[in-house]
A and B are shown apart, each in its own frame.
Chain A
Amino acid sequence: MTPVRKAFLRGLVAASPMTVVVGPFAVLFGVVATEAGLNVFETMLFTISVFAGASQFAALQTMQENAPVIVVLATALAVNLRMVMYSVTLAPHFGELPLRSRALMAYFLVDQSFATTVAEIDRRPEMTAREKRAVFFGAVVAVAPLWFAASFAGAMIGRALPPEYALDFALPITFLAMVAPMLRSLPHLVAAGVSIALSLLLAGMPYGTGLLVAASVAMATGAGVERWREGRG
Chain B
Amino acid sequence: MIDKTAFWIVLPALAFGTYAIRFSFLGTLGARPLPAWLTRCLRYTAVAVLPALVAPGVLWPAATGGETDPARLAAAGVTLLVGLVTRSTMAAILAGGATLYALLAVAG
Taking Cβ atoms with an 8 Å cutoff, the residues of A that contact B are 20-21, 24-25, 28, 36-38, 42, 45-46, 49-52, 54-55, 58-66, 69, 72-73, 75-88, 90-92, 94-95, 99, 102-103, 105-107, 109, 166, 168-184, 187-188, 191-192, 194-196, 198-200, 203, 210-211, 214-216, 218-220, 222-223, 226-227
| CB atoms of B89 and A178 under 8 A apart | yes
| CB atoms of B51 and A106 under 8 A apart | no
- Sorted nearest first, the 5 A-B pairs with minimum C-beta distance are A180-B83, A222-B44, A177-B92, A218-B48, A199-B52
Question: Which residues of B, 35-65, contact A by the 8 Å Cβ criterion?
Answer: 37, 39-63
Report, as a range, how many residues of chain B touch the other chain.
35 or more
| Residues of chain B with a CB closer than 8 A to A76's CB | 10, 14, 18
Q: Tell me the complex Cα distance, A109–B21, Å.
A: 10
Q: Tell me the complex Cα distance, A80–B27, Å.
A: 17
| Residues of chain B with a CB closer than 8 A to A24's CB | 90, 93
Q: Tell me the complex Cα distance, A59–B8, Å.
A: 12
Does any Cβ of A come within 8 Å of B106's Cβ? no
| CB atoms of B2 and A61 under 8 A apart | no
| CB atoms of A106 and B14 under 8 A apart | no
| CB atoms of B54 and A171 under 8 A apart | yes
| CB atoms of A91 and B29 under 8 A apart | yes
What are 17 A-to-B residue pairs whose CB atoms are below 8 Å? A24-B90, A24-B93, A45-B11, A50-B18, A54-B50, A55-B18, A84-B24, A103-B23, A106-B22, A171-B54, A173-B92, A177-B82, A179-B47, A183-B47, A200-B56, A211-B52, A215-B52
| CB atoms of B79 and A187 under 8 A apart | no
| CB atoms of A87 and B40 under 8 A apart | no
Taking Cβ atoms with an 8 Å cutoff, the residues of B that contact A are 1-4, 6-7, 9-15, 17-19, 21-27, 29-31, 33-34, 37, 39-63, 72, 75-76, 79-84, 86-90, 92-93, 96-97, 100
| Residues of chain B with a CB closer than 8 A to A87's CB | 21-26
Q: Which one of A83, A184, A216 has the greatest number of beta carbons of chain B within 10 Å?
A: A83
Known: A73-B13, A178-B89. A84 touches B47 (CB 8 A): no
Q: Which one of B29, B40, B76 has the greatest number of beta carbons of chain A within 10 Å?
A: B40
| CB atoms of B48 and A195 under 8 A apart | yes
Majority SS at the chain A contact face = helix
| Residues of chain A with a CB closer than 8 A to B44's CB | 187-188, 191, 218-219, 222-223, 226
- With beta carbons under 8 angstroms apart, the residue of A52, A191, A210 that contacts B47 is A191
| In the complex, residue of chain A having the shortest beta-carbon distance to the beta carbon of B62 | A168
Known: A46-B11, A87-B25. A176 touches B40 (CB 8 A): no
B48 to chain A, nearest CB (A): 4
| CB atoms of B6 and A69 under 8 A apart | yes
| CB atoms of B96 and A176 under 8 A apart | yes
| CB atoms of B1 and A195 under 8 A apart | no
Q: Tell me the complex Cα distance, A61–B49, Å.
A: 12
Q: Tell me the complex Cα distance, A188–B100, Å.
A: 27
